[in-house]
Amino acid sequence: MIIKKPPATNDAFIESNVVKRFSPLARQVLAASGPIISSAAAGMTNGFSAILLPQLQQPDSKLSITEDQASWIASMAPLPMALGCILGGLLMERYGRKSAHLLLNVSFAVGWCVLSTAGSYPQILAGRFITGLSCGLVGPPASVYIAETSDPRYRGILLAGVTFAVSSGILLAHLFGTFFRWQTAALLCSLFMIVAYVLMLASPESPAWLLARGDRSEAETSFRWLRGYDPASRQEFDAMVARTEQRTQHTDKSAGTPTESNRSPYRRREFLMPLATLLVFFATMQFSGVNIVAFYSIALMKTTIGSDSLNEYLAMLIVDLVRVVTSLVACILLRSVGRRPLAMASGVGTTVSLIGLSIFLYFQTSIPLYRNYSWLSLVFLISYIVFVGIGLFPLPWCMTGEIFPVATRGLGSGLTSSFNFVCFFAVIKTGPTLFATVGINGTFLVYGVISLLGTLLLYMILPETKNRTLQEIEEQFRRGRSKTKDAEAPTVEGTSAGNGNISQLA
């Protein structure tokens, strides 16, 4: 009896069967779903104190706390976030993007479980600290992993899903706290981490990280899973491997020679310029008051509406809903609009809204005749939430995973994310002092001026990254924006679309 060897299965046949079930886009969405859900848990962490503290301060609460203890509970989560960002960047560089996500999902789940079973003040602090640390851990890996596993055509909308998830997480935490006790709300939050963990188990490691570690076979397997088996993707991966080998050989040849190529990657232009750009972007975003409005939204709405009978939970949910809808709009805009025009429109709109809010709050609180026009202040407050939500808030997080070279992406994203949380702490800490010193209207005037200055700086230094591959973005920073424009002038538009994907994961 002769057993015949089955015919060889070619790549085209494999692709035809795989695509029938899941297209490359569907697989890229699946890979991005884990980091997006983990980012929702970060939003839940930010919004949890707003439901935890009022319930703990109720007369029938089994656990009573003082005002000082309440302030520590609120600040315990932001405290380790900056440290978490640095650790997240280091972990994903050493152990991989996927492994870092699996670890932070476990950390998040532990933090929520500690909160759900907490029966004392120290246990609540421990739970808030762990969830805050996990919130910092998720910042760098989420953006980097999505950027490295998605096609340039879909990268913007998938990265915007991170900020949409954060806004949705705040809303979900507030909804859980509206209808359930805080222990049950914490338990419900922990369930999301199980889903995120399972999704990450089903997703591959970043091909860019694997190739940088010299594991070509694993990198090719991951790349094929994400991008398919068609001839264009085969050519793309081969070019990516050739480019990586060329860089390695060039580095070896230039060893001992004081040239740009063997200089520390952290001292090169393609690292320093993205670092400076994102530091400016995060500072502009935070010091335009985005988190002050979130923290004091109820008091602001009472001031603008002029009513003391406003339901606090209703006001909180209204602001949350506006933020979520705006984040969804930002996802759509990032798919069709460039980063620069969106950043400029958001910066100008935020500046006008803040200055307008400041002016009308001044007239409303100082001149009794203008109290009937309090709705104008509310209009400017809502327009501020919309404008800051479509650009200044999501864009720096999106670009964190885009603009750093692969060799420095871990530390670069960790440093900038950590700087964001330092600014976050500074704004929240100085906010009450500003309110007491110059008033609410004066505070928003200060934020409006900072927004204007930051927008002007971004106009000068912010590059366009829409539909550009990660390698093209790196080259743009290496050459400078004006030189890049000159180099691209004679090229045909279709060249970037056709050959651009070849550079994406380098």
Domain boundaries, the chain: 22-203, 268-479
CB 100 within 8 A of CB 35: no
The predicted pLDDT at position 201 comes to 93
3-state SS, one letter per residue, for 265-312: HHHCHHHHHHHHHHHHHHHHHHHCCHHHHHHCHHHHHHHHHCCCCCCH
The predicted pLDDT at position 284 comes to 93
Architecture of domain 268-479: Up-down Bundle (1.20)
Between the CA atoms of 295, 298, 299 and 301, what dihedral angle is there, to the nearest 10 degrees? 120
The predicted pLDDT at position 421 comes to 84
Count of beta carbons in the 10 Å neighbourhood of residue 273: 18
The answer, as to whether pTM is greater than 0.85, is no
Same CATH fold assignment for domains 22-203 and 268-479: yes
Tokens representing 503 are 């550079």
The predicted pLDDT at position 304 comes to 61
What's the fold here for domain 22-203? Growth Hormone; Chain: A; (1.20.1250)
CB 291 within 8 A of CB 430: no
The predicted pLDDT at position 12 comes to 41
The predicted pLDDT at position 451 comes to 93
- Ranges in the chain, pLDDT < 50: 1-20, 254-258, 482, 484-506
Tokens representing 120 are 């004392």
Burial class of residue 105 (count of CB atoms within 10 Å of its CB; 0-12, 13-18, 19+): buried
Give the number of C-alpha atoms closer than 13 A to the C-alpha of residue 374, restricted to the C-beta side: 14
Burial 476-506 (b: 16+ CB within 10 A, else e): bbbeeeeebeeeeeeeeeeebeebbbbbbbb
The predicted pLDDT at position 30 comes to 93
The predicted pLDDT at position 473 comes to 77
pLDDT tens for each residue of 26-39: 899 999 999 999 99
Dist CA 158 CA 137 (whole Å): 19
Dist CA 496 CA 296 (whole Å): 46
